[in-house]
């Protein structure tokens, strides 16, 4: 009967979250990682605080500040306004069908539709030439460049009246001229663009797909003749519909997008939790208003604004509890935003935010009916808590549930540090022994090079951070709430229930390491074959499987003469095909043994990468 390797007594380290990432797939806007949601409430220096505990890793594609925010709050917050340009066109279509504003100035290249009746019979479309004039039969050239559209009909009628009388005239703009503008700085698609002369700054920003991730949305500059003629704030446009600074563009204008300015983040009971770019002199009150104010559930609550300070979430100085949003806005109107500040709006009326040493809390998120922070009942278990909060959604993947515990995290980190210490000592001792036994300089150089590689490997291993995942050891991936174990909960535990994925990953020494569609009854050998088979440097005897439930399966767990090739794979599982390692050049603790240790800690593919690098 197949056995599972429990990850070192309910242990799972940071790279197990990598396997859990694949369980989650492209959930939450395509970010391929499982968000961390673990925090511990308590007291420090007589002040109510929320400790920010070690998070699960955030996808490497996120900016560093977004990673810091996720680490601090447990929430992956979007950059406000970025989604506005997510469907921006790759090319810009001139706006020919829009109404021509009265102050539009006629220029070379515009096509004018002119109709006259009475003593004259005129029906023509005339293009304004480079001299700024149009030609009207029997009248001649009429200079129109610089005339505003609202004055154009009267202006032409007056010119034609010099020759004809008793007639009526109508003039419209058949087609606007094209203008060339330049987009510079941190734009998604900088360059030179041909736009309609009716275009404004907003139109041009859509043409270039908006600012790049590192570009400013608050200080878009319009330069004309070497001077900045306007500055446009996209936030005011997106959030308030204000178009101040959205000037009509002229030929040769430069739209410059400078680098993004200061960033802050706000989470909690605001209507739009996000990361926001700020301008100098903006206050905490400005940030709260920008985030839409408070959610309806907190409108009658006593509110408090908190800020991350040295890893702890503390009430912001000089902001006591206030009844309702208006009181909090008044209190924070002159309080400047901290550079890189991470804020959270909370309700002091909520039991979960009045923590003390006798109260225990667990955070639940993901595909559950009612995510949030919950006070634990005496002896309450994981299954009981999930039932009490309404259960899970139809898309929930209980097999891939990520359950983390701070005390387990600390044990994991200590155990890993001890393992690295042993590796370093054995590496040094082995190298010293070899050097004492050889007299050849070539051998000595080889031994020194090997020792240096092991030292760098140990340094890499010390950077690995534990997450404290508890492997729940399910026997099937098709689970109901009743199948969740009655695991007693502790203060600070965190539960994340992902959406069911549709893929299986194959990592390591294969010809095509990638994700493959999950199909029922496929086994390890089937997925390895889909990956093009094991590579030349593969060690097929050491293939192992990282389960989405936090466990691992290897040959040693199945028996000496067994193989994992026939092992049945579930959605979100990862198959690791390690590279063969020469034992003749390894230290007492061989790299292959390190591989075994790493996947037992839940490091899996990330551990292999550390060793390889």
The pLDDT of residue 81? 85
Hey, what are 561's tokens? 């003469």
- Using an 8 Å Cβ cutoff, are 377 and 389 in contact? no
- Using an 8 Å Cβ cutoff, are 249 and 179 in contact? yes
Q: What is the mean pLDDT of residues 62-76?
A: 76
The pLDDT of residue 127? 94
Distance CA 343, CA 307 (A): 4
Other beta carbons within 10 Å of 449 = 11
Hey, which of 101-105, 279-283, 420-424 has the most confident mean pLDDT? 279-283
Q: Is the pTM of this model over 0.85?
A: no
Name the one residue in this structure whose structure tokens are 């009655």: 486
Q: State pLDDT tens for residues 398-410.
A: 999 999 888 888 8
The pLDDT of residue 224? 94
The pLDDT of residue 413? 83
**Phi/psi of residue 458, nearest 5 degrees:** -65, -40
Nearest by Cα to 248 from 170, 320, 196: 196
The pLDDT of residue 436? 85
The pLDDT of residue 435? 86
**Phi/psi of residue 292, nearest 5 degrees:** 90, 5
How far apart, in Å, do the first and last CA atoms of the chain sit? 37
Structural domains present in the chain: 111-175 (3.30.1950.10), 407-467+501-612 (3.10.560.10)
Q: What is the mean pLDDT of residues 220-248?
A: 90
| Most distant CA atoms of the chain, gap in Å | 117
- Using an 8 Å Cβ cutoff, are 158 and 151 in contact? no
Hey, what are 532's tokens? 């093009």
Q: Could you give the percent of the chain with pLDDT greater than 70?
A: 76
* 369 pLDDT tier (thresholds 50, 70, 90): confident
Q: State pLDDT tens for residues 511-534.
A: 998 999 999 989 999 999 999 998
The pLDDT of residue 372? 77
- Please check the confidence at residue 471 and state whether its pLDDT lies above 80: yes
Q: What is the mean pLDDT of residues 522-547?
A: 88
């Amino acid at each position: 009967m197949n056995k599972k390797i429990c990850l070192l007594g309910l242990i799972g380290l940071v790279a197990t979250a990598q396997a859990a990432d694949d369980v989650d797939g492209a959930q939450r806007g395509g970010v391929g990682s499982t968000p961390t949601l673990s925090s511990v409430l308590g007291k420090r220096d007589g002040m109510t605080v929320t400790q920010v505990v070690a998070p699960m890793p955030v996808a490497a594609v996120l900016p560093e500040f977004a990673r810091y925010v996720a680490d601090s709050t447990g929430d992956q917050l979007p950059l406000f306004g970025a989604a506005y340009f997510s469907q921006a066109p790759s090319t810009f279509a001139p706006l020919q069908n829009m109404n021509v504003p009265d102050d539009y100035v006629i220029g070379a290249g515009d096509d004018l539709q002119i109709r006259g009746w009475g003593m004259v019979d005129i029906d023509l479309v005339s293009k304004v030439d480079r001299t700024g004039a149009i030609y009207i039969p029997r009248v001649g050239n009429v200079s129109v460049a610089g005339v505003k559209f609202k004055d154009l009909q009267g202006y032409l009628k007056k010119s034609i009246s010099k020759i004809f009388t008793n007639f009526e005239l109508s003039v419209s703009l058949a087609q606007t001229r094209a203008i060339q503008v330049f987009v510079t700085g941190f734009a998604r698609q900088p360059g030179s663009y041909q736009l309609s002369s009716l275009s404004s700054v907003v139109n041009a920003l859509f043409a270039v797909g908006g600012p790049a991730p590192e570009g400013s949305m608050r200080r878009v500059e319009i330069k004309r003749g070497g001077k900045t003629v306007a500055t446009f704030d996209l936030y005011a446009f997106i959030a308030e519909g204000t178009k101040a600074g959205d000037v009509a563009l002229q030929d040769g204008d430069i739209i410059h997008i400078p680098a993004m300015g200061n960033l802050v983040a706000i989470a909690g009971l605001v209507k739009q939790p996000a990361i926001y770019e700020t301008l100098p002199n903006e206050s905490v009150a400005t940030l709260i208003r920008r985030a839409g104010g408070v959610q309806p559930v907190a409108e009658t609550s006593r509110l408090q604004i908190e800020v991350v300070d040295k890893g702890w979430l503390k009430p912001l100085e000089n902001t006591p509890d206030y009844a309702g949003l208006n009181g909090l806005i008044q209190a924070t109107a002159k309080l400047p935003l901290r550079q890189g500040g991470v804020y959270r709006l909370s309700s002091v009326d909520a039991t979960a935010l009045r923590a003390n040493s006798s109260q225990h809390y667990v955070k639940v998120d993901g595909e559950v009916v009612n995510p949030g922070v919950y006070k634990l009942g005496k002896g309450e278990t994981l299954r009981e808590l999930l039932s009490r909060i309404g259960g899970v959604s139809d898309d929930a993947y209980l097999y891939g549930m990520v359950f983390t515990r701070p005390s387990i995290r600390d044990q994991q980190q200590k155990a890993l540090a001890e393992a690295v210490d042993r590796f370093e000592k054995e590496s040094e001792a082995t190298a010293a022994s070899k050097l004492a036994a050889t007299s050849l300089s070539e051998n000595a150089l080889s031994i020194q090079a090997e020792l240096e590689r092991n030292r760098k490997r140990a340094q890499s291993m010390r950077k690995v951070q534990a997450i404290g995942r508890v492997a729940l050891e399910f026997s099937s991936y098709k689970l109901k709430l009743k199948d969740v174990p009655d695991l007693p909960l502790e203060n600070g535990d965190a539960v994340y229930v992902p959406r069911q994925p549709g893929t299986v990953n194959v990592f390591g020494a294969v010809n095509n390491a990638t994700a493959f569609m999950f199909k029922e009854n496929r086994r390890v050998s089937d997925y390895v074959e889909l990956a093009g088979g094991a590579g030349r440097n593969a060690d097929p005897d050491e293939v192992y499987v990282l389960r989405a439930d936090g466990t691992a399966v290897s040959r040693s767990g199945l028996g000496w003469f067994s193989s994992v090739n026939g092992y049945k794979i579930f959605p979100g599982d990862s198959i690791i095909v390690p590279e063969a390692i020469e034992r003749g050049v390894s230290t007492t603790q061989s790299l292959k043994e390190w591989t075994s240790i790493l996947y037992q800690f839940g490091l899996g593919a990330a551990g292999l990468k550390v060793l390889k690098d």
